[in-house]
Amino acid sequence: MSNNIKKILSIDSGASNIRIVIFDELGNTIFSDKINEGANIAIDRENCTKQIIKVLSETLNKASLSYDDINHFSIGVAGISDESARELLFKRLEECKISNRTHLTTDVNPIFEMNCSDNSAILVSVGTGAICLGRSIDDKIEKVGGAGLDIDPGSGFWMGKELLIKLSFNKNEEHNESEFNNLLNMTLNSFNTKELNLGIDQVMQSNDRYRKIASLSSGILELGENGNEIAISIIQQSSQHIADMIIFLCDQISYINDELILIANGSIMNNEFFRKSLSDALIFDFSSIKWLFPNISSAYYPGLLSAKMLGMKVTINDLIENGAQQL
């Protein structure tokens, strides 16, 4: 190691983006980056594993560091609960000679562990996928969702898929023509095509199909905010699915507070219009809803969880005081 100050390389790898930071035990951020490519290891083990190893190598090169300069690697990966996928990634990490100082976790568990120490709050993570996590009164972690992008309702991927179904099968006979065409044009632009069926075929054959379909959710949210009723109907259906997940989880963990405290995570949950729709879907079950937001990038949380496990004293406040930001 180059000096006595310990360094952690921390990765948050979701299905649509990879965020990377290197920070030290004093709370200094040495390097940070965001890559607009996802790596969900349950979807494509080989390519995801190669992508993560590539990101590790490129990050160290950009930061002018070597593997030996890093005391601990912490990698949060969507889909890592799959045991065979986990074993494959560990095998590649062994080849880099860093497996003995690497902690693997999911992309959402670190945020939950660092923000939900008791039964008083629930993590709602909605981006490409969707999952809710809560802690029971006997300290057992329960989850709803996270079963897979093709299964989880209400996610960004689900929203994009619902839009494609409407555009493909409903045509514009049942809808306002202008609103339908706005959504159609947004989709064609997103898929870089002039013909919908051709664009869908190309996307479905690509390794990046989940991210590309989920990316439609940002256009749906934008048009919904501007009053597009078709987009609003998709948003309302999505938020109702997430509300149902939250209510089911509250029953599982015996959530007893009159005020529902939700920690928002993920690109969809960062959208105020979506949160308003979700709050509307929950208001009949709870007297009030309070939203909390992680105030640093999700990339820090796998590393922070590892630091806690290793007995390092660095905290979220240390990182914020030294300029840590969202990525």
| pLDDT level of residue 192 (50, 70, 90 thresholds) | very high
Around Cβ 263, how many Cβ atoms within 10 Å?
A: 20
Range of the domain at 129: 112-294
pLDDT at residue 295, rounded to an integer: 85
Check pLDDT > 90 for residue 1.
no
Tell me: the pLDDT tens digits for 229-260? 999 999 999 999 999 999 999 999 999 888 99
Of residues 66 and 80, more confidently modeled: 66
Report the share of the chain in percent with pLDDT over 90: 79
pLDDT at residue 66, rounded to an integer: 96
Question: Does residue 2 fall inside a structural domain?
Answer: no
Helix (H) or strand (E) holding 224: helix 216-225
pLDDT at residue 85, rounded to an integer: 85
Question: What's the average model confidence in pLDDT over 160-171?
Answer: 89
Question: What's the average model confidence in pLDDT over 5-13?
Answer: 95
| pLDDT level of residue 172 (50, 70, 90 thresholds) | low
User: What gap in Å lies between CA 327 and CA 20, rounded to an integer?
Assistant: 9
Q: Please name the residue that has the structure tokens 């990316």.
A: 215
pLDDT, mean over the chain? 92
Question: Does residue 266 fall inside a structural domain?
Answer: yes
pLDDT at residue 187, rounded to an integer: 97
Of residues 23 and 84, more confidently modeled: 23
pLDDT at residue 65, rounded to an integer: 96
Q: Are 12 and 302 in contact (CB under 8 A)?
A: yes
pTM score: 0.91
> Are residue 86 and residue 232 in the same domain, yes or no?
no
Check pLDDT > 90 for residue 223.
yes
Q: Are 30 and 63 in contact (CB under 8 A)?
A: yes
> Are residue 204 and residue 232 in the same domain, yes or no?
yes
Question: Does residue 327 fall inside a structural domain?
Answer: no
> Are residue 180 and residue 259 in the same domain, yes or no?
yes
Question: What's the average model confidence in pLDDT over 80-93?
Answer: 89
> Are residue 67 and residue 98 in the same domain, yes or no?
yes
pLDDT at residue 171, rounded to an integer: 60
> Are residue 267 and residue 226 in the same domain, yes or no?
yes
| pLDDT level of residue 82 (50, 70, 90 thresholds) | confident
User: What gap in Å lies between CA 154 and CA 237, rounded to an integer?
Assistant: 7
> Are residue 89 and residue 170 in the same domain, yes or no?
no
Question: Does residue 142 fall inside a structural domain?
Answer: yes
Report the share of the chain in percent with pLDDT over 70: 97
pLDDT at residue 40, rounded to an integer: 78
> Are residue 232 and residue 255 in the same domain, yes or no?
yes
Question: What's the average model confidence in pLDDT over 292-317?
Answer: 93
> Are residue 167 and residue 314 in the same domain, yes or no?
no
Q: Which two structure tokens, joined as six digits, stand for 163? A: 């839009």
The CATH code of the domain that includes 197 is: 3.30.420.40
Question: Does residue 165 fall inside a structural domain?
Answer: yes
Question: What's the average model confidence in pLDDT over 86-108?
Answer: 93
> Are residue 22 and residue 127 in the same domain, yes or no?
no
The domain tally of the chain equals 2
Question: What's the average model confidence in pLDDT over 191-201?
Answer: 94
Q: Which two structure tokens, joined as six digits, stand for 39? A: 């790596």
Give φ, ψ of 188 to 5 degrees.
-60, -40
Around Cβ 117, how many Cβ atoms within 10 Å?
A: 11
Give φ, ψ of 207 to 5 degrees.
-70, -15
pLDDT at residue 81, rounded to an integer: 83
Q: Are 1 and 68 in contact (CB under 8 A)?
A: yes
pLDDT at residue 161, rounded to an integer: 97
Question: Does residue 1 fall inside a structural domain?
Answer: no
> Are residue 262 and residue 311 in the same domain, yes or no?
no
